[in-house]
């Protein structure tokens, strides 16, 4: 009886998950415009990236799950940088630019980093 109950419970959970997949996606919107400084002292705007394939990684130095993803983004960047794909990190709430630059260097994050602002974070 316990095995049958576990099978029924598993089937119910799976069907609930599949039902959720049928829900329509949220409204598709264009990315919000931004103009952010990078760690090299330059500026990057959304319009300067027009026509490119860009992966934006929003992260913070104190965010454990964010830090776990960085090696995957780095590997993706290494494999695809010659194909016109750009990976850009947008770091939030992580200290002064020099502290962030030190963190990026110490952790060997190879792709470009932008300093996120409150306006972009609130979107």
Summarised one tens digit per residue, pLDDT across range 80-118 is 988 989 999 999 988 899 999 999 999 999 999 999 977
Residue 106: inside a domain: yes
CA atoms within 13 A on the CB side of 4: 1
Residue 14: inside a domain: no
Summarised one tens digit per residue, pLDDT across range 27-52 is 766 777 889 999 989 999 988 888 88
| Confidence at residue 89, expressed as pLDDT on a 0 to 100 scale | 95
Question: Which domain range does residue 117 map to?
Answer: 28-121
Residue 16: inside a domain: no
pTM comes to: 0.70
Domains contained in the chain, number? 1
Helix (H, G, I), strand (E, B) or coil at 85: strand
Residue 18 has pLDDT above 80, yes or no: no
Residue 4: inside a domain: no
End-to-end Cα distance, the chain: 50
Residue 13: inside a domain: no
CATH of the domain at 75: 3.40.30.10
Q: How far is CA 13 from CA 3, 9, 17, 24, 25, in A?
A: 15, 6, 6, 20, 21
Residue 33: inside a domain: yes
Residue 18: inside a domain: no
Residue 10: inside a domain: no
């Amino acid at each position: 009886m316990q095995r049958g109950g576990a099978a029924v419970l598993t089937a119910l959970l799976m069907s609930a998950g599949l039902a959720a997949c049928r829900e329509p996606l949220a409204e598709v919107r264009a990315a919000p415009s931004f103009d952010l400084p990078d760690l090299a002292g330059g500026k990057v705007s959304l319009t300067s990236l027009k026509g490119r394939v860009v992966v934006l990684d929003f992260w913070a130095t104190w965010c454990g799950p964010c830090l776990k993803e960085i090696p995957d983004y780095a590997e993706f960047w290494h494999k695809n940088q010659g194909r016109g794909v750009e990976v850009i990190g947008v770091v939030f709430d992580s200290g002064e630019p020099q502290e962030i630059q030190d963190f990026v260097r110490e952790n060997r994050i190879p792709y470009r980093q932008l300093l996120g602002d409150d306006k972009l974070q609130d979107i």
